[in-house]
């Protein structure tokens, strides 16, 4: 531990007591996320409960020039919370209060450590729901910081659309409030959405005002297999272009389906497969399901099965969310190298097909899944962590997928974010706008202490 970090620990110990940890086990837990990126230990981990404690932590670090890295549930995929320059890891798990719920205004006010499942459990009797579903039970502060999304984004939007207001502690300890509870505003810079997706490089979120949605009267899920990847993806494009308001439409290739069958004990046909979900009244859901079935048949869809049974739906979607672990189980002991790109919906089929062809021509085992209703798909390659050739090949495959996405006007990441892994693509995607981002970073964090080495430090 550096002398500066030791002084910060000495300053904060009387305030936090046993909520300041320097043990190797706690530091190790905060040295990594769900990516395969190498771990880096923080000097200490703190667990604040209030905004005032976050202020005190930030002010102590600012005085000593010690880096600060916010930490939520640790479920990020691109190294966002890895403290690559050491410092203090600020774990918000104990800032988990649901401050206020206002169903009549379709909003809830929460602390950043509240998770999406916790919020929805609390909302159950109000007739409202929080819609963003990344699969993992991520913290809402972390989801906002990474501009998270997931399976329901095609209908309800990402965190960008569902965060209405924030309270943020800046690098000098100043607290700012952004946004409002109104449905819209035309005043001032949109500072709320400056911090949404900033990945903790501009400040630490201490409170969020979230947009809520009514729980649909009826929910129907459907599954449909196809002979080819091309047929499945073209069916998605046709469904979206037809204007069918699907709540979710997910794609899994045959490798992902086989792994999911084995891991989650399903009996799906091992073939490229689409998962649909429809929300609305019983009549509306039935009508939309029938239209979607007709569209999928035009593209060779087989055995379109839909159900409103809650247990069957829950089992199906849990299996989809467990795809990460199902794929890792194909080769125990291997790491999963994940990729995440998003393209215009009209270029989706060619992008997925090209990525599948790359995997088929590679010595690596890999799969493709995706939130294909909004053009977002994920590649995953199984690599031996002790084989540098595996890592080099996975890097090559991921680079090719990103290059293709950028060439057609897409993005290097649709939902996983930048972290440390995607920072090298920022200049390719954003050009001179990266210089604007660097100036914003310098203005709000002149000493570069907030999650250093991440966004704002792009080349």
The answer to whether 131 touches 162, Cβ cutoff 8 Å, is yes
Residue 12's CB: how many other CB atoms inside 10 A?
A: 21
How far CA 272 is from CA of 261, 381, 436, in Å, comes to 13, 18, 42
Residues 320 and 225 in one domain: yes
Residues 288 and 263 in one domain: yes
CATH of the domain at 9: 3.30.43.10
pLDDT the model gives residue 26? 97
pLDDT tens series, the chain, 459 aa: 889 999 999 999 999 999 999 999 999 999 999 888 899 999 999 999 999 999 999 999 999 999 999 999 999 989 999 999 999 999 999 999 999 999 999 999 999 999 999 999 999 999 999 999 987 899 999 999 999 998 899 999 999 999 999 999 999 999 999 999 998 899 999 999 999 999 999 999 999 999 999 999 999 999 999 999 999 999 999 998 888 889 999 999 999 999 999 999 988 999 999 999 999 999 999 998 899 999 999 999 988 888 888 888 888 888 888 888 999 999 999 999 998 999 999 999 999 999 999 999 999 999 999 998 899 999 999 999 999 999 999 999 999 999 999 999 999 999 999 999 899 999 999 999 999 999 999 999 999 999 999 987 766
Q: What's the CA gap between 244 and 246, in Å, rounded? A: 6
pLDDT the model gives residue 459? 62
Residues 317 and 225 in one domain: yes
- Residue 46 domain flag: yes
Q: What's the CA gap between 289 and 305, in Å, rounded? A: 10
- Look up residue 450 and give its DSSP letter: B
Q: Which domain holds residue 11?
A: 3-91
The answer to whether 380 touches 336, Cβ cutoff 8 Å, is yes
Residues 45 and 137 in one domain: no
Residues 292 and 269 in one domain: yes
Counting the structural domains of the chain, the total is: 3
- Residue 421 domain flag: no
pLDDT the model gives residue 224? 94
- Residue 418 domain flag: no
The answer to whether 84 touches 420, Cβ cutoff 8 Å, is yes
| CA torsion through residues 45, 160, 336, 363, sign | negative
> Which of 65, 91, 117 corresponds to the end of one domain?
91
Residues 56 and 162 in one domain: no
Q: Whole-prediction pTM value?
A: 0.92
Residues 232 and 287 in one domain: yes
Q: Give 303's contacts (C-beta < 8 A, 6+ positions apart).
A: 224, 225, 269
Q: How far, in whole angstroms, is CA 274 from its chain's centroid? A: 21
Residues 157 and 207 in one domain: yes
H helix or E strand, kind and range, residue 395 = helix 388-407
> Which of 214, 234, 249 corresponds to the end of one domain?
214
pLDDT digits (tens, 9 = 90+) for 229-276: 999 999 999 998 888 889 999 999 999 999 999 999 988 999 999 999
Residues 128 and 193 in one domain: yes
Residue 53 token pair: 């404690």
- Residue 160 domain flag: yes
The answer to whether 99 touches 116, Cβ cutoff 8 Å, is no
Residues 230 and 198 in one domain: no
Residue 271 token pair: 């073939």
pLDDT the model gives residue 150? 87
> Which of 324, 354, 381 corresponds to the end of one domain?
324
pLDDT digits (tens, 9 = 90+) for 301-348: 988 888 888 888 888 888 888 888 999 999 999 999 998 999 999 999
- Residue 247 domain flag: yes
Scored b (16 or more CB within 10 A) or e, 69-105 reads: bbbbbbbbbbbbbbbbebbbbbbbbebbebeebeeee
Mean predicted lDDT score pLDDT of the chain: 94
Residues 137 and 208 in one domain: yes
- Residue 430 domain flag: no
Residue 300 token pair: 């060779």
Residues 50 and 138 in one domain: no
Scored b (16 or more CB within 10 A) or e, 349-359 reads: bebbeebbebb
Closest by Cα among 121, 122, 169, 182 to 141: 169
CATH of the domain at 175: 3.30.465.10
- Residue 424 domain flag: no
Q: What's the CA gap between 320 and 256, in Å, rounded? A: 9
- Residue 280 domain flag: yes
CATH of the domain at 291: 3.30.70.2190
The answer to whether 329 touches 259, Cβ cutoff 8 Å, is yes
């Amino acid at each position: 531990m550096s002398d500066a970090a030791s002084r910060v620990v000495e300053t904060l110990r009387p305030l936090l007591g046993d909520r300041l940890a320097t043990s190797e086990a706690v530091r190790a837990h905060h040295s990594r996320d769900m990516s395969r990126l190498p771990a880096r230990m923080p000097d200490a981990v703190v667990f604040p409960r209030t905004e005032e404690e976050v202020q005190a932590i930030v002010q102590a670090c600012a005085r000593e020039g010690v880096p600060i890295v916010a930490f939520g549930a640790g479920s990020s995929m691109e190294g966002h919370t890895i403290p690559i320059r050491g410092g203090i890891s600020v774990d918000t798990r104990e800032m988990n209060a649901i401050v206020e719920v206002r169903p009549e205004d379709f909003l809830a006010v929460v602390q950043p450590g509240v998770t999406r499942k916790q919020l929805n459990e609390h909302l159950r009797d109000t007739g409202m729901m929080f819609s963003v579903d990344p699969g993992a039970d991520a913290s809402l502060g972390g989801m906002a910081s990474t501009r998270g999304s997931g399976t329901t984004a095609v209908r309800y939007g990402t965190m960008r659309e569902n965060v209405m207001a924030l309270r943020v502690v800046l690098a000098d300890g100043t607290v700012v409030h952004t946004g409002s509870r109104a449905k819209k505003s035309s005043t001032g810079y949109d500072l709320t959405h400056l911090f949404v997706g900033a990945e903790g490089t501009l400040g630490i979120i201490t409170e969020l005002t979230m947009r809520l949605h009514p729980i649909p009267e009826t929910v129907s899920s459907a599954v449909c297999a196809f002979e080819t990847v091309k047929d499945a993806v073209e069916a998605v494009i046709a469904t979206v272009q037809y204007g069918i308001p699907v709540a979710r439409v997910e794609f899994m290739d045959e490798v992902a389906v086989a792994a999911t069958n084995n891991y989650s004990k399903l009996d799906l046909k091992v073939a490229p497969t689409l998962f649909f979900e429809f929300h609305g009244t019983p009549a509306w859901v039935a009508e939309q399901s029938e239209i979607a079935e007709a569209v999928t048949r035009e593209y060779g869809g087989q055995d379109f099965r839909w159900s409103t049974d809650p247990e069957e739906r829950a089992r199906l979607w849990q299996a989809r969310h467990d795809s990460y672990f199902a794929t890792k189980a194909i080769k125990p002991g291997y790491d999963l190298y994940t990729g995440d790109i998003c393209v215009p919906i009209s270029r989706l089929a060619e992008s997925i097909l090209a990525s599948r062809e790359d995997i088929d021509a590679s010595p690596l085992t890999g799969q493709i899944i995706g939130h294909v209703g909004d053009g977002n798909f994920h590649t995953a390659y199984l690599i031996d962590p002790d084989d540098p050739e595996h890592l080099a090949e996975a890097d090559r495959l991921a680079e090719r997928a990103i290059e293709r996405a950028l060439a057609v006007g897409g993005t290097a990441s649709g939902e996983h974010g930048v972290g440390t892994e995607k920072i090298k693509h920022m200049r390719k995607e954003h050009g001179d706008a990266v210089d604007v981002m660097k100036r914003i970073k310098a203005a709000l964090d002149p000493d570069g202490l907030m999650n250093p080495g991440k966004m704002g430090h792009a080349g």
